[in-house]
Amino acid sequence: MRLRPAHKLLLLLSLAGMFLAPSRASAQILKPCAGGITLKINASVTTQGSLLLTEVLGAKTVIGISGEWDGRAAPLWRASEKSPVLHGLLGVDLEKAPGHYEWKVSWKTADGNAVTCSVPVTVRAGKFPTERLTVEKQFVQPDPEQLKRIEEDQKKMRAIYDTLTPERLWDGKFRLPLQDMAAGGNFGRRRILNGEARSPHAGVDFPALAGTPVFASQSGKIVLAEELFYSGNTVVIDHGYGIYTLYAHLSEIGVHSGDAVETGAQIGKVGATGRVTGPHLHWGLTIQRARVNALKIVERQP
């Protein structure tokens, strides 16, 4: 959304708070398992909306290795075919109940024995501010026809996020979706729209002028390029292994569903379509269905 001076001050204050607040992240964990395999995770304590980096070391000869996080498959991949290290990303959904969880890895030894090894992970509540906004009435009290559209949109998005493409479509580092724009905010904010509580804000907002080019933050396949009720003109890119980025409220879409895109390809322009209070880019990151702060994937590379 467009930032008024008061909002700019708030943004500065919250950025300062991020640097001044004592870090709640814990040190990385190395867990030795049977057969010379070690599980590595970058933090054993994390917060809602975070991203965890995992590695399986010494996994050269194992068969059928698979990861699991919160009851769901957590894919593992090798940086190169012969590498003894497997990599993985775990998404912590922004509304994941605080508590104790486990990252589990299972495999078979050379003599056919099934082995499971796990690392405990504690999820803490994120500190997300609440904001009150006023939007057009239809976006808070949609009529029956609009409700039907919203349901169709949600079904479409669920089908996308339920699909786990079992290959890596990305290459190298993820980048920000706008040129010369480092400050994105609002992730995780609990929202009150026209006085009514709504689901939290699952993306990062970049205030920008309408027409500003929007770039693919990473290579992948376009799996959605159309207008949705709330997010307006929307593009979703599948990067493989359940990793998706979303670009919303575009004035124009420059790609089609099914297109392959490279990192930095222009996919559209900033706009104010859908439920907005002004032109901005809403950028989302979903990892195996978990809604994660997209800035984390730029800071921490898979």
Q: Which residues bind Zn ion (CB under 5 A)?
A: 203, 205, 282
- Report the nearest approach of Zn ion to the CB of residue 270 (Å): 12
Q: How far is the CB of 179 from Zn ion (least distance, A)?
A: 19
Nearest to Zn ion by Cβ — which residue? 282
Whichever of 161 and 206 has its CB closer to Zn ion, that residue is 206
Q: How far is the CB of 231 from Zn ion (least distance, A)?
A: 8
User: In terms of CB distance, is 219 or 233 closer to Zn ion?
Assistant: 233
The conformation of residue 280, written as its DSSP 8-state character, comes to: E
Tokens found for residue 279: 């032109």
Locate all alpha helices (DSSP H) within the chain, ordered by sequence.
Answer: 5-20, 144-161, 295-299
User: Given its phi and psi angles, is residue 188 left (phi above 0), alpha (psi -120 to 50 degrees) or beta?
Assistant: left
**Ramachandran area for residue 112 (φ above 0: left; ψ -120 to 50: alpha; else beta):** left
CB 283 → Zn ion: shortest distance, Å? 8
Q: How far is the CB of 282 from Zn ion (least distance, A)?
A: 3
Q: Which is nearer to Zn ion, 91 or 188 (CB)?
A: 188
For residue 289, count other CB atoms closer than 10 A to its CB: 15
Specify the residue, 93 or 205, whose C-beta has the smaller distance to Zn ion: 205
Of the two residues 43 and 204, which places its CB atom closer to Zn ion in the complex? 204
Running DSSP on this structure, what letter comes out for residue 22? P
- Measured from the Cβ of residue 180, the count of other Cβ atoms closer than 10 Å reads 6
